[in-house]
Structure 1
Amino acid sequence: MKTNPFFRSLLHGWLTSLGATTFQAEDGKDALHKMTEVHPDLMICDISMPRMNGLELVETLRNRGEQLPILMISATENMADIAKALRLGVQDVLLKPVKDFDRLRETVYACLYPAMFSSRVEEEERLFEDWDALVSNPIAASRLLQELQPPVQQEMSHCRIHYRQLVSADKPGLVLDIAPLSENDLAFYCLDVTRAGDNGVLAALLLRALFNGLLQEQLAHQGQRLPEMGSC
């Protein structure tokens, strides 16, 4: 949906060559309209779209209980947007320009047939590789944590949210994470890593991953509330 017309045509032809039947939409609203008649096995969309962007589209679908696999292809390198997409349960985000179509094919198959094309061992290996990269580069880990912080002002679940950091911008202080659960509920946590140094940054990233898992479970089972996270 709604990407560069040339790339969209190229993607359509490539998917057709794999035996897929494709349906195209101009933007998020058009996609929602077409999904009243068509029930795809996989959605590929851009984050940046007019009228309704990719993040809004995915959030709308997940709030409706729609769990179809979604693959995002986007030019953005904004970690906050990528993190939000993954938090909403998007299977993967590929950055433009997409040149490695072998990897794209593997990603598409992994979305459609997760039991056949992905394994827990491979996921754990990738996790350890990412973790080692963060441990070996604490400056990059700290920068990543800062990029993942929510906007200082926003509206969510009928609430106005505003916060302010009281430490210098180059040092991690109070880590805040917040996300909507429904139109009327939200979840958040705060973690003070002021005196924890590099270990505090890594702990904050781990906690964020745990929080993401809880949110995805909530989206998959809308009738259930999140378990309470006890203090320690």
Structure 2
Amino acid sequence: MGDKKNRHDPNYLRAKRENFAGRAIYKLEEIDKRFRLIKPGARVLDLGCWPGSWLQYAVKRAGTDATLVGVDLKAVELALPSNVKTFVGDVNKLKLDKMVERFGRFDVVLSDMAPNTTGNKDFDIPVSEDLFLRALDIATGCSRIGGHFCAKVFQGARFHELIREVERRYQQAKPYRSAHTRKQSREQYIIGRGLKANVARDANPIADS
């Protein structure tokens, strides 16, 4: 975030001033206020958590009795409360049974994952869609029945197909474009509220009821 375009970005400057790891915190704050995803004491999984701003927001909302877990290819160097655990790892290699065994089933799965963009939308968008689907599969496999989901995707030809897939798994599915997203960006979020019981059991027959 040290490039020239950020020097005059109001959200970047605000995040620096308020000691947050990145401007993305304001996107999650906006989404959470709209969709009420994170509650006190929640178990929260944050995929693509570096540099840590979503964890900063989530732990503030969920409190010290909550369990928060972040995973990213990069190590989070931020000082976070002791009930926040971060790991360096590839989401495509996560062992969901081990995650559930260690932390229990999650109330909320968040993903701000994005590809290392090339500027070629014919490459970047499909990779973003694949990351979104992986986040959705992880959420389906390690969330409690009734749990919530929020993930970023670059809008492309499969966007409505992705929304339908979230609708298949969750009681409610809504696309959302944050007011804090840069105007030229294709970035969208898709929110799923209330993981369906039959979907959770299909993903893992021993899912909590």
TM-score range, shorter chain: 0.3 to 0.5
The answer to which structure has the higher helix fraction is 1
The answer to which structure has the higher strand fraction is 2
Which structure carries more relative contact order (alpha carbon 8 Å, separation 6+)? 2
Give the structure with higher Rg (CA).
Answer: 1
